[in-house]
Structure 1
Amino acid sequence: MAAGELITADGQLEWRGTLLGTDSPYRMTNLQGWLDLPDARGDDPDRPNRHGSFQGSQVMGKRTITLTYLIKGVPIEEFGAVITKLRSITAPTEQPVEEPLVIRLDGETWQVNARCTRRTISVERFYAIGYTTGAVQWQATDPRIYSLVDQTAATGLPSPPTDGLEFPLVFPLKFGTGRPGGRLTLVNSGGAASWPVWEIRGPVSGPIIANRDTGQRLVFDPAFTVGAGQTLVIDTDARTVLLNGVNRSDRLFTREWFPIPAGTSVQVDFAAASYHPSALLTARWRHATI
């Protein structure tokens, strides 16, 4: 089951294949940290012997999301199973990894990758008759919130020219048709920059990914070859370069990492040291907000 498939209405959360919030036994009474900005991290150095600071960088820290819930109106014979289910889906593993937490508000469904870090279940006077309150808290190391579905775009290398001017020149002159292929346009409709994952399928030697808008490039050693049937995966957010799962970051000579800017698009060119018709560049990304 894909993340978010259980969600049908505003005020719903999906975690580990379980619906929380609206139309579930776990009624939402408060949700914090979803629409809020996370705490900022900055390094504004003090102005020596003067008021204030010099402006430094400012980025967001991890996102903390807290659901406060209420359980009531559940048949008393089902209450224990409802509590057990909540404890099960919030139980940590020995080495927990981030998983999709999907939330729908205002008709829009988005997700973060997070780990459950806290759970409270109040055992008070009315617990015995099927009434309790509590909270579940998650932390996402990446504070950005993403669309549910991957966006993809792909292109081969630009085709080599097959025609052009013929001599002796005869008017009217006939020019070549240009070099189709080799270019992508990636659109990010969210309010935060989104960092794509690039996949290069061989055979190709010395691949180059270039941002036409800024001139930034990812340039591999011209002698570096991605063979037929191999796939080179470049995660621009994690800054990893894997060839069939093996680290080949050492062959990336120029590292001018670039994202897809917020609320706009970027044009990207795919080139290489030599042409092969089967070479393919695929981009995967999601709309992002914060």
Structure 2
Amino acid sequence: MALDEGQWQIRDLVLGPGTFYGVMDTTNPFNCQVRADQGGDRAWAHGGWSGVEWQAERVVPITVLIDVGAEDVGAAIDARHALAAAFRASHTDLPLTFKLGGREYLLWGRPRMAEAGVDLLGLGRSYVRCAFVALDPMIYSAQEHEVGPVGLPTWSGGLTVPFTVPFTVPAIQTGGIDELSTAGTAEVGLRLRVDGPVPQPRISITDPDDVASTLRVDITVPSGQWLDIDTQARTVLLNGDPAASRRGQAVGDFPLLQPGVSTLRFAAAEEAAGTLRVRWRDGWW
């Protein structure tokens, strides 16, 4: 569902304006930290040194005021139960979505706590301290973009006319090319689906700086079957089956989408009727 400005959602529960759950202004989803795997003082020199650095997980403390609008202890406790259920433990990553500044964002992670106070229950109110840990620290757009189906290229025209000086009429490419754009400020992974028949599918992304990254998979995808490719996780699965990995047949780069407008090219070892679909989200640190 689309959220209103200032609303949050985890599982099926919506928090914020228009609900029993007020999200306090101290709630901040934008804090982030850098993780350095190694560091220490420099020997026989001033200052220190640091090894490879990465973004740490993003911890989002969320303070919620439950207010059922009446001095109804039972209703306040029921609202607390619903909030605790939304923040219950999960063995898989969940989306936490929120809308601020007219844009709907998404974090992937795990709920960690829902600690309720009872001092205001007689007034039908309760402050609850919740927490969500985004194990993937990237902030994504809640809206997922999609391009496709993109067909393999075909060529028409093209010949050399034997005048006194040979004159060439260039061939015209149809299909096999499209544009991908992201409004984010960070590079993001792509989810690619290649539907057969495609012999040796090849996907190339040329970024706004005219730098190209190309991935080739050295198999023939038969008609009625497909490849699921995740360029962030670097996985290649036949028919989406984790037991049917084709990662060993992947050659080249797993392209990521850079901020701005990039060019997508889809090709194969020979002409075929296969197609490519591409999905991605905008991303911010």
Q: Compute the TM-score of the two structures, normalised by the length of structure 1.
A: 0.86
Residue 128 of structure 1: how far off its partner (Å): 3.1
Indicate the larger mover: 175-184 or 42-51.
Answer: 42-51
Residue 66 of structure 1: how far off its partner (Å): 1.4
- Give 3-state SS (helix, strand or coil) of 1:83's partner: helix
Structure 2, unpaired ranges of 5+: none
Answer yes or no: is the 8 Å Cα contact 1:210–1:218 preserved in 2. Answer: yes
- Partners of 2:247 and 2:78 lie apart in 1 by 49
Residue 80 of structure 1: how far off its partner (Å): 2.7
Tell me whether 1:141 sits opposite 2:139 in the alignment: no
Answer yes or no: is the 8 Å Cα contact 1:30–1:69 preserved in 2. Answer: no
Tell me whether 1:92 sits opposite 2:86 in the alignment: no
Residue 86 of structure 1: how far off its partner (Å): 1.5
Alignment of 1:24-173 (within 5 A): 24-36=19-31, 38-43=32-37, 47-53=42-48, 56-75=51-70, 76=72, 77-93=74-90, 96-124=91-119, 126-154=120-148, 155-159=150-154, 161-169=155-163, 173=167
Which of 266, 269, 272 does residue 262 from structure 2 map onto?
266
Q: Which amino acid aligns with 2:211?
A: T
Structure 1, unpaired ranges of 5+: none
Deviations 1:115-150 (A, max 9, x none): 1111100123x3233222121111111111111222
Which of 236, 250, 253 does residue 252 from structure 1 map onto?
250
Deviations 1:189-228 (A, max 9, x none): 112111111111111111111233323221222xx11110
Alignment of 1:212-227 (within 5 A): 212=206, 213-221=210-218, 224-227=219-222
Tell me whether 1:202 sits opposite 2:202 in the alignment: no
Residue 20 of structure 1: how far off its partner (Å): 0.9
Amino-acid identity (%)? 27
Q: Compute the TM-score of the two structures, normalised by the length of structure 2.
A: 0.87
Tell me whether 1:175 sits opposite 2:172 in the alignment: no
* Equivalent in the alignment of 2:4: 8
Q: Greater strand percent: which structure?
A: 2
Answer yes or no: is the 8 Å Cα contact 2:112–2:131 preserved in 1. Answer: yes
Closer/same/farther in 2, CA of residues 69 and 209 from structure 1, 3 Å limit:
same
- Give 3-state SS (helix, strand or coil) of 1:71's partner: strand
Answer yes or no: is the 8 Å Cα contact 2:28–2:62 preserved in 1. Answer: no
- Give 3-state SS (helix, strand or coil) of 2:136's partner: coil
RMSD of aligned residue pairs (Cα, Å): 2.3
Answer yes or no: is the 8 Å Cα contact 1:234–1:241 preserved in 2. Answer: yes
- Partners of 1:258 and 1:172 lie apart in 2 by 40
Count of aligned positions = 275
Residue 54 of structure 1: how far off its partner (Å): 5.2
